[in-house]
Amino acid sequence: MADTSPRNSLTVTDNRTGLSYDIPIEQGAIRTLDLRQIKVSPEDFGLLGYDPGYFNTASCKSSITFLDGDKGILRYRGYPIEQLAEKSTFLETAYLLIKGVLPDKERLAVWTYNIRHNTLTHANMIKFMDGFRYDAHPMGILVGTIGALSTFYADAKDINNEESRKLQVRRLIGKIPTLAAMSYRHSMGYPYVLPDDDLSYTGNFLSMMFKMTEMHYKPNLILEHALDVLFILHADHEQNCSTSALRAVGSSGVDPYSAVAAGCAALYGPLHGGANEAVIHMLKKIGSIENIPAFIKSVKEGEGRLMGFGHRVYKNYDPRAKIIKKIAFQVFEETGRSPLLDMALELERIALEDDFFVSRKLYPNVDFYSGLIYQAMGFPLDMFPVLFAIGRVPGWLAQWTEHVQDPEQKIARPRQIYLGEEQRDYTPIEQRPKNRIDEKKFDICRL
């Protein structure tokens, strides 16, 4: 009797040759390397997977973050984001992401001590900062100075040494708020503020940002808590653009400062870390609640997008956006309500009732309300991606640590489909046909 029990494999028939192949399925995936056996001739390289933008390619196995975009679920190490946002702190969540478990009291105290005692940067860092133009974008400064940390800590190259890895993790989480605040103060021309170990991680960051001549900066507890929750919400999001950049760079065996700088550079891009800023610009451009229907009409007619709406993965309300919306109300109660918030609420209300957005599963994403909160707290627009980066550092480091320890990982080296010229012979310059540049209009800058 034929065996009809289901098999964990995929049978593929190559219609070019008529040959069939049995490809194993593990954890809902096939290994694309298994496609290489599919050839039309022995010289054939074998079949490749082609996936620009990695829409359907898993680059790693991970135990850090679970995300179900259709159901609107986000969990760090199994814990729902809603519970962490309500009950945890950013430093505790950082511990969870990196170590995989929630700490007991003693471990949390040691972890907090270790992070707090790594907040100072080498004094030479001030010279670095001073080298940037007065109006340099703080995110550009952050990318540069995180990369520069690798030159201060030569021991970080020892990536296969667990103790060294742990030390770099503590240093990076400790120093990021310091570098972030320094980058802001440099761009404002304000003197730098030393870390204050009596404050919480987030309170200290606010102090380094906003302290002026007072002896001790006392953060507003509601704003400090709100920012701490925002950091938790941004702490990891599995294999997004910046995390993939960090893993790819880290796969070369480079130190974690260089890998994190790469992640940070990816986050700098407007398609990734910059959308919350775009929301503020959009709201300012709309101008008032009366103009919203006309704006929605223009979006539906294809004249631009409703920024802060839609997501590549979430086809449901982004769970982070729900939490952020609640925080926005708490913050505005403290800072005074912004007319932009009322516009955002009205935009959301209209969009969620409109078939254009409903049928395309376009819901508010993490960026829809976060920019409004940052603005109300007094952060300038160009600090928004920097705030995202502070939150994301523990996630990047958890992903980097996992990557370095994963025996299946190799240096990231994708394939390409070559569409260029076949082999041709080099011709001396005198024998080449006159080329197409109009010499009268010859402009060296355009070459």
Can 367 be counted among the known catalytic residues? Answer: yes
SS3 content of the chain, % helix, strand, coil (to 5): 55, 5, 40
Buried b (16+ CB within 10 A) or exposed e, 332-358: beebeebebbebbebbbeebeebeebe
Q: Which residue, 136 or 345, has its beta carbon nearer to ligand ACO? A: 345
Can 216 be counted among the known catalytic residues? Answer: no
Site string for ligand ACO, 293-312 (x = CB under 6 A): ------x-----xxxxxxxx
Minimum CB distance to ligand ACO, residue 404 (Å): 25
Under rule CB under 6 A, residue 245 binds ligand ACO: no
Structure tokens that stand for 1 in this block:
């009797």
Minimum CB distance to ligand ACO, residue 181 (Å): 23
Select the residue interacting with ligand ACO from 166, 272, 322, 326 (CB under 6 A).
272
Out of 122, 158, 272, 342, pick the active-site residue.
272
For residue 330, give the nearest of 221, 427, 426 by alpha carbon: 221
DSSP 8-state secondary structure symbol assigned to residue 302 = T
Can 272 be counted among the known catalytic residues? Answer: yes
Q: Which residue, 12 or 313, has its beta carbon nearer to ligand ACO? A: 313
Site string for ligand ACO, 350-369 (x = CB under 6 A): ----------x-x--xxx--
**Residues contacting ligand ACO: total by CB under 6 A:** 16
CB closest to ligand ACO, residue no: 310
Out of 34, 196, 318, 367, pick the active-site residue.
367
Which spans in 303-383 are helix H?
Answer: 319-335, 339-353, 355-359, 367-377
Phi then psi dihedrals of residue 264, to 5 deg: -65, -40
Q: Which residue, 112 or 365, has its beta carbon nearer to ligand ACO? A: 365
Q: Which residue, 230 or 299, has its beta carbon nearer to ligand ACO? A: 299
Task: Give the contacts of 194 (CB within 8 A, at least 6 positions apart).
Answer: 120, 208
| 255/250 Cα distance (integer angstroms) | 7
Footprint of ligand ACO (CB under 6 A): 272, 275, 299, 305-312, 360, 362, 365-367
Annotated catalytic residues are 272, 311, 367
